Amino acid sequence: MQKRICSASIFLACSIFLCGSHPAFAKKMYKWVNEQGETTFSDQVPPENSQYRRESLNEKGRVVEVTEQAKTKEQQAMENRLNELKKAQEKVIAQQAANDKVLLSTFRNLEDMQASLYAKMQSLDTQRNVAQGNLKRVEIQLENQQKKAAELERNGKKVPSFLLNEIKQTEAQIQAAYAEINSHIEKKNRAKAEFEADIERFKFLTLRNADPSKASDNNTDNQTADQIGLYTCETETLCNKAWLSAHEFFKAHATTPIDTDTDKLIMGRSPTIDSDLSLSISKIVDENKKLQLFLDIRCRDSSLGAELCASQKVSAIRSAFRSFIEAAVGK
């Protein structure tokens, strides 16, 4: 087929010529604009122009189909990251909903929760007491072994190697016992904090169910928003202000510098050391067409990095996000 390309200035004359001279115009025509702002009409799209946004026209010159401009690698990477963040947001919200359901089905009232907390603390205290008893036992064992070694030395005898090995083994058992006791203490503190958070959540849920007028108007209530690092924009103007303040939040809490900064994504460089906190703040549209700012915190892919991301420090940063943004926009 003969290729036909017409500039915008002679499109009308070209169309008349094509219609009068050849029936091929009855087939699809394409229109696109290049970087220089030049508009082109043709019945074929050359490969070198395939990346432009183009419109398909019928025989009457009406647009019947639109092919969006091809994305650059950078644009595609940013879109993929935004999709990942949105999925992360949806996953956390779904998990919170599941946790709420379990919470309400497990406990009838606050008294039930307090009783369960007391029983849990008692159980953990019992486990710690057992560990402390084991520690006392091996400390006495070490004391007796050291006395034997000292007595042999006083009598001018060499301490046998098996006794020295037993002493080393007992010392290692003591260190392990101390570690176990500390683990029980940390487990108790963590369990208490989780229970107290559940109690506050239970209060919120039961209050909301008892009096719906006290529920948040947002799709995600403020407590859940604080847990996941989410700010919902009430207006586009507020969202623009919020996006500016999001940069300040990033600077205040991230330990890695900004790697990507667009109108939809602020993303820090990947963590390189165990203490690094890499922040990402994305502008996402939810299912109700509301703009949201979502905070994502990444740590190094290591055991210490995972421990950091699960720490109270990271939870506090995430919880501070919404209130920081609201204060900045002057709500």
Is 55 inside any structural domain? yes
* Residues near 67 by beta carbon (within 8 Å), at least 6 away in sequence: 53, 54, 55, 56
Q: Tell me: the pLDDT tens digits for 24-40?
A: 444 678 888 887 888 88
Separation CA 218–CA 290 (nearest Å) = 10
Q: Are residues 194 and 246 in the same domain?
A: no
3-state secondary structure of 183: helix
Predicted local confidence at residue 2, as pLDDT? 40
Is 247 inside any structural domain? yes
Helical residues (DSSP H) of the chain, grouped into ranges: 11-21, 73-106, 110-154, 161-210, 222-228, 236-253, 303-309, 312-329
Q: Are 259 and 277 in contact (CB under 8 A)?
A: no
| Domain assignment of residue 228, given as a range | 222-329
Is 265 inside any structural domain? yes
Q: Are residues 200 and 237 in the same domain?
A: no
Is 78 inside any structural domain? no
Q: Are residues 253 and 323 in the same domain?
A: yes
Q: Are residues 201 and 233 in the same domain?
A: no
Q: Tell me: the pLDDT tens digits for 95-152?
A: 777 888 898 899 989 999 999 999 999 999 999 999 999 999 999 999 999 999 999 9
Average pLDDT, the chain: 81
- The one-character DSSP state at 290 is -
User: Pick from 193, 214, 235: which residue ends a domain?
Assistant: 214
Count up the domains in the chain and report the number.
3
Separation CA 320–CA 266 (nearest Å) = 17
Q: Tell me: the pLDDT tens digits for 243-302?
A: 999 999 999 999 999 888 888 888 888 899 999 999 989 888 876 778 889 898 989 988
Q: Tell me: the pLDDT tens digits for 199-222?
A: 887 887 787 666 555 444 444 456
Q: Are residues 210 and 167 in the same domain?
A: yes
Is 136 inside any structural domain? yes
Predicted local confidence at residue 112, as pLDDT? 92
Is 76 inside any structural domain? no
Is 102 inside any structural domain? no
What does pTM read for this prediction? 0.47
